[in-house]
């Protein structure tokens, strides 16, 4: 049996009759950049996310960059974020000339640890003095809602208010997720979304979007994405070229109508995985994983740790949308090879933390600085999860994992 990590062909087959007319309408209009189709999609997303403004752009990476530019963050400024995420988060910070400051993650959610943010900002962990950073130079926090589950935004908002810093939500993997009845992208000053094809709401190419609550910031961001020009050819600021294509907007608007149904199905599949793994006796609790955590974490070689709903749990009025179903396993690379042989797609998100990337060597971080994130890079493995999966496929995957762990 062959099971891909994600089956975009199956998704397309289910909405082909809606997608083709939407594309044809744009082709007939000959309006390919921005325009009424993009505006219509922006309004639909603003309504869906229950926010004031939604601005389409070229990618999720550009969304982060535009948010930082709109806040006038640049050289001499510092932005707090997680070391366990896709490169674009820290890359955008560096591109505006600011410095990323990494904060370790929670072991259960994989998201930035708010108490470690508190420890940094209060000076209790001693890092600000050691790094020569003044409190007023810390301009923003970028929490990442990893794998489809939101960070603990209530605590982070409390800290942002206390220290007078902005919040930019990296919601690239989290459209439709929620915490305490508030949607991703509606907690911070900005919400940054990616519509890369593999996302829960994916375009047929690159695309992104920014949600903004403040009217002035929304206007500034809207101008920045058009080279800083308003009206055309008259530039009040230096911006970038980051416009959403009408073809992508048309495709995304069709898919948006199905998003909740698809996310609910992902949750059903995640619960099926949890049940079957538990029933098979393969599940263990995550060992105590704190500042002493290393890649030699005390995980049993014949057990896995299944995803834990924290902010995404119904008890927290939350919603985990399972962009990824990510387990922890001691011999991660061995299991990955076994699944490859069995024809089962799988992926490692992410194999190397950002603070140990070569391009950030000048920041002076070393192995052991963020042990929880480093541990996750050794153990995390994502299994197939997409709405079109059936029970036979889920059972085959669980049995294949069991076969490896019991050998």
Tell me: pLDDT of 385 over 80.
yes
Half-sphere exposure of 238 (CA within 13 A, CB side): 2
> What are the boundaries of each domain within the chain?
8-256, 259-405
What is residue 89's predicted lDDT score, i.e. its pLDDT? 97
For the chain, percent of residues with pLDDT exceeding 70: 98
Tokens of 5: 């990590």
Per-residue pLDDT at 295: 46
The pLDDT assigned to 300 comes to 84
Sheet architecture: strand order including 304-305: 304-305, 325-329, 380-383
Backbone angles phi, psi at 228, to 5 degrees: 75, 20
Q: Residues 114-125: what's their mean pLDDT?
A: 94
Predicted pLDDT of residue 291: 52
pLDDT at 296: 53
pLDDT per residue as tens digits for the range 29-76: 998 888 999 999 999 999 999 999 999 999 999 999 999 999 999 999
Q: 384: pLDDT confidence band, cut at 50, 70 and 90? A: very high
The predicted pLDDT at position 288 comes to: 64
pTM given for the model: 0.94
What is 259-405's CATH number, 3.50.50.60, 3.90.1150.10, 1.10.3720.10, 1.10.40.50?
Answer: 3.90.1150.10
How do residues 310-328 score in pLDDT, each as one tens digit? 989 898 999 999 999 999 9
User: Is 212:32 a contact under the CB 8 Å cutoff?
Assistant: no
- pLDDT computed for residue 104 by the predictor: 96
Alpha helices in 132-185 (DSSP H): 153-163
Average pLDDT, the chain: 94
pLDDT for residue 32: 87
Q: What is the pLDDT of residue 293?
A: 54
pLDDT tens figures, 280-301: 999 988 876 555 555 456 788 8
CATH 3.40.50.80 correct for 8-256: no
Give the orientation angle of helix 8-29 with respect to helix 36-49, to 10 degrees: 130
């Amino acid at each position: 049996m062959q099971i891909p990590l994600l089956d975009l062909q199956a998704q397309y087959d289910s909405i082909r009759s809606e997608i083709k007319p939407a594309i044809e309408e744009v082709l007939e209009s000959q309006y390919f950049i921005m325009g009424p189709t993009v505006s219509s999609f922006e309004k639909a997303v603003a309504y869906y996310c229950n926010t004031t403004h939604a601005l389409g752009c070229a990618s999720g990476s550009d969304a982060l960059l535009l948010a930082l530019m709109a806040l006038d963050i640049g050289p001499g400024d510092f932005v707090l974020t997680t070391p366990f995420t896709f490169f674009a988060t820290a890359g955008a910070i560096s591109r505006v000339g600011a410095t990323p400051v990494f904060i370790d993650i929670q072991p259960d959610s994989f998201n930035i640890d708010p108490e470690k943010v508190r420890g940094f900002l209060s000076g209790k962990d001693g890092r600000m003095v050691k790094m020569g950073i003044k409190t007023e130079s810390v301009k923003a926090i970028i929490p990442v809602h990893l794998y489809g589950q939101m960070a603990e935004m209530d605590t982070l908002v409390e800290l942002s208010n206390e220290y007078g810093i902005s919040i930019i939500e990296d919601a690239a993997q989290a459209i439709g997720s929620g915490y305490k009845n508030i949607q991703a992208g509606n907690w911070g000053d900005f919400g940054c979304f990616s519509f890369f094809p593999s996302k829960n709401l994916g375009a047929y190419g690159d695309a992104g979007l920014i949600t903004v609550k403040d009217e002035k910031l929304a206007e500034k961001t809207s101008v920045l994405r058009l080279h800083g020009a308003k009206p055309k050819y008259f530039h009040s600021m230096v911006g970038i070229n980051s416009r959403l294509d009408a073809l992508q907007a048309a495709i995304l608007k069709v898919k948006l109508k199905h998003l909740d149904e698809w996310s609910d199905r992902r949750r059903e599949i995640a619960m099926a995985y949890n049940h079957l793994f538990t029933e098979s006796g393969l599940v263990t609790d995550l060992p105590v994983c704190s500042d002493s955590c290393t890649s030699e974490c005390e995980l049993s070689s014949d057990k896995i740790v299944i995803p834990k709903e924290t902010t995404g749990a119904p008890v927290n009025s939350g919603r985990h949308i399972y962009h990824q179903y990510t387990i922890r396993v001691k011999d991660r690379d061995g299991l990955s090879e076994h699944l490859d042989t069995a024809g089962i797609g799988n992926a490692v998100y992410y194999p190397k933390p950002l603070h140990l990337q070569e391009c950030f060597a000048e920041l002076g971080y070393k192995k052991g600085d963020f042990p929880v994130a480093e541990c996750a890079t050794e153990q995390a493995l994502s299994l197939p999860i997409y709405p079109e999966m059936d029970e036979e496929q889920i059972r085959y995957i669980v049995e294949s994992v069991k076969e490896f762990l019991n050998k």
